[in-house]
Chain A
């Protein structure tokens, strides 16, 4: 049965709808239009020309940056999921109710400080004369090039996504039916096998959504690749700034941005489909 619209319902749903229209749909439509504009002598002109799409898609730099960004984001989401899982597993199954509450609180604390500040503080650890290399020096090692590497970019991605991924994983692990685990144990299923045969499949939705968030955040991130990776290799976010910085090429930047949005939509749909695969309700 269809429910009729009530004033009460509208009061709560309309602001969200208006918000989405104003700050998501309208800018997106504008971005699409912008990608067909042209730039002449530093000035954007309203136009309908596919030149920006043809130019960007014809450039090997673009596809290389696309491949790099996709690979980095995918690696980050796999890595962070693998590292976060033991943590969220321990919090949800090994800790007491009180300790668990504290652990969740601790995972929220990183959000108190700006991500940019946290990334800058990593420079103090990773630079050639930084904390890590100085400590390695005490035992006669190094110095190793840590900053301005892909590894440093990955550390930045972990800084960005780890707490969120732990929290998302946690919420699905906490709600796993404990009787399923007991049943597995009663059927003489070992600890490790229980994790892979019972816990992970039961928490699949949460785990996949957590990994998806890690992918989305890393894919669009500008701060880590520039301040920890030293802008090398070029990611799509860096390519956007490059494109706007010279010659006012906002329409071409719009092409990159739309490609990124399209990619994220496809990845998100695929992930959600995979997460809910086989579920009937």
Chain B
């Protein structure tokens, strides 16, 4: 700032030296006044280390988060494998990648007693993949559902209550795909009636491929994160496969006429959880952060995260959210005592998104490329 000011009002050697010295001295002065905040590195999807989520924790603990944002679990694994151990203190991961993180030795073992699991809904106290041989490696922090995302001007909720709506003639060229095979093919697998959409044998996998291929003429495009937002927002795509409220919720809150429905064939659940990076020098602080964000107070913030909203597993977090922001609690189905997100899970309509169990991930990915190129 000071140097810029110097540049605009006629720069002399003396003024340059003076401003330079002042600029160099500034950190020293501030260090004298306040203790320098401790830096905590976080590897996460975009939004998790933004001020709306972390500001309070940063102020209370004199911490400064240094985020590194990624898109997708593979991207995350790539970033970790290319960095020396201890680079990331806190790692936010999609649940299906926690096992990969653990197998590769990228995350520390955690002590279950440190975290408020007793406040969690029973379903989330022993989340699959987060525990190995009775040891805890990751703490679930938020989740959401994937179903049929649709434009409310073009489709009714009743129409969007089945994945078959994607084949609707009125939607030809207006069906978009979030460009990632896992959620899209999982939804096709649900539509084909596979009770465990990712645990399917070769015959069922062939069926999923055939079903998916038959959708190809309807598809108007394959979109990344930004493209998905803009094409739903401007009505270019009227229905979207492979996403849910994590995209439409943000748009809806900003006035776009889009929603997500969980169809009768069932929905998928994405799940995010926090781990501590192997070799982190600030494990106590990292633990403190995970305690904070999974506490009732932190969960209410997490549910309403500006980048993308989510449902939280802490029951007391629901209470805080209902007290602070009842509209958002209602919008996301987090009101206790009435039909809510937990009922959806308990009725068996929601399946966890997973890596394919009977096929190689490569087979799914290769098929996705073929589908796109068809």
Please give the residue numbers on chain A whose beta carbons come within 8 Å of chain B beta carbons, in ascending order: 41-44, 59-61, 64-65, 120, 123, 127-130, 145, 147-148, 226-227, 229-234, 238-239, 242-250
Q: Is A247 a contact partner of B104 (Cβ separation < 8 A)?
A: no
Looking at A230, A232, A243, which has the most chain B CB atoms within 10 Å of its CB?
Answer: A230
- B236's partner among A147, A231, A234 (CB-CB below 8 A) is A147
A147 — which chain B residues lie within 8 A by C-beta? 236
Q: Is A42 a contact partner of B221 (Cβ separation < 8 A)?
A: no
Q: Is A64 a contact partner of B373 (Cβ separation < 8 A)?
A: yes
A60 — which chain B residues lie within 8 A by C-beta? 370
Q: Is A41 a contact partner of B103 (Cβ separation < 8 A)?
A: yes
> How many Å from the CB of B50 to the closest CB on chain A?
22
Q: Is B74 a contact partner of A42 (Cβ separation < 8 A)?
A: yes
- A61's partner among B72, B77, B364, B373 (CB-CB below 8 A) is B373
Chain A interface: which of B86-94, B134-142, B222-230?
Answer: B222-230
How far is A226 from B223 in the complex, measured between Cα atoms in Å?
Answer: 7
> How many Å from the CB of A161 to the closest CB on chain B?
22
Q: Please give me the residue from chain B that is nearest to A246 by CB atom.
A: B365
B179 — which chain A residues lie within 8 A by C-beta? 231, 242, 245
If the complex has contacts A148-B236, A232-B219, A234-B372, are A248 and B366 also in contact, measured as CB distance less than 8 A? no
Q: Is B72 a contact partner of A245 (Cβ separation < 8 A)?
A: yes
Q: Is A246 a contact partner of B220 (Cβ separation < 8 A)?
A: no
Q: Is B236 a contact partner of A248 (Cβ separation < 8 A)?
A: no
How far is A130 from B81 in the complex, measured between Cα atoms in Å?
Answer: 44
A231 — which chain B residues lie within 8 A by C-beta? 179, 221-223, 227, 372
A64 — which chain B residues lie within 8 A by C-beta? 373
If the complex has contacts A127-B236, A232-B372, A233-B373, are A148 and B221 also in contact, measured as CB distance less than 8 A? yes
Q: Please give me the residue from chain A that is nearest to B182 by CB atom.
A: A246
Q: Is A248 a contact partner of B234 (Cβ separation < 8 A)?
A: no
B 211-260 contacts with A by CB, 8 A: 219-224, 227, 230-231, 234-236
B372 — which chain A residues lie within 8 A by C-beta? 231-232, 234, 238, 242
- B235's partner among A129, A226, A233, A234 (CB-CB below 8 A) is A129
Q: Please give me the residue from chain A that is nearest to B179 by CB atom.
A: A231
Q: Is A127 a contact partner of B361 (Cβ separation < 8 A)?
A: no
B47 interface hit (Cβ, 8 Å): no
B336 interface hit (Cβ, 8 Å): no
B180 — which chain A residues lie within 8 A by C-beta? 245-246
Looking at A129, A242, A246, A249, which has the most chain B CB atoms within 10 Å of its CB?
Answer: A246
Q: A42-B81, A64-B373, A249-B362 are in contact. List 10 more A-B contacts (CB 8 A).
A: A43-B77, A60-B370, A127-B235, A147-B236, A148-B231, A230-B176, A230-B221, A231-B372, A242-B368, A246-B364
Number of contact residues on B: which range applies? 35 or more
Q: Is B222 a contact partner of A245 (Cβ separation < 8 A)?
A: no
Q: Is A248 a contact partner of B78 (Cβ separation < 8 A)?
A: yes
Q: Is A245 a contact partner of B74 (Cβ separation < 8 A)?
A: yes
Q: Is A43 a contact partner of B81 (Cβ separation < 8 A)?
A: yes
How far is A60 from B93 in the complex, measured between Cα atoms in Å?
Answer: 34
B75 interface hit (Cβ, 8 Å): yes
Q: Please give me the residue from chain A that is nearest to B360 by CB atom.
A: A247
> How many Å from the CB of B33 to the closest CB on chain A?
39
B2 interface hit (Cβ, 8 Å): no
Q: Please give me the residue from chain B that is nearest to A68 by CB atom.
A: B373
Q: Is A129 a contact partner of B370 (Cβ separation < 8 A)?
A: no
A234 — which chain B residues lie within 8 A by C-beta? 369, 372-373
B287 interface hit (Cβ, 8 Å): no
B316 interface hit (Cβ, 8 Å): no
- B222's partner among A127, A130, A230, A250 (CB-CB below 8 A) is A230
10 A-B pairs within 8 Å (CB atoms) are namely A59-B366, A64-B373, A123-B236, A231-B222, A238-B372, A242-B365, A247-B74, A247-B361, A247-B365, A250-B78
How far is A246 from B365 in the complex, measured between Cα atoms in Å?
Answer: 6
A41 — which chain B residues lie within 8 A by C-beta? 100, 103-104
A145 — which chain B residues lie within 8 A by C-beta? 173
Q: Is A61 a contact partner of B236 (Cβ separation < 8 A)?
A: no
> How many Å from the CB of A99 to the closest CB on chain B?
34
Q: Is A232 a contact partner of B365 (Cβ separation < 8 A)?
A: no
Q: Is A123 a contact partner of B234 (Cβ separation < 8 A)?
A: yes
B366 — which chain A residues lie within 8 A by C-beta? 59, 61
B181 interface hit (Cβ, 8 Å): yes
Q: Please give me the residue from chain A that is nearest to B71 by CB atom.
A: A245
A227 — which chain B residues lie within 8 A by C-beta? 227
- B74's partner among A130, A148, A230, A244 (CB-CB below 8 A) is A244
How far is A243 from B207 in the complex, measured between Cα atoms in Å?
Answer: 24
Q: Please give me the residue from chain A that is nearest to B361 by CB atom.
A: A247
B 234-293 contacts with A by CB, 8 A: 234-236
B75 — which chain A residues lie within 8 A by C-beta? 245
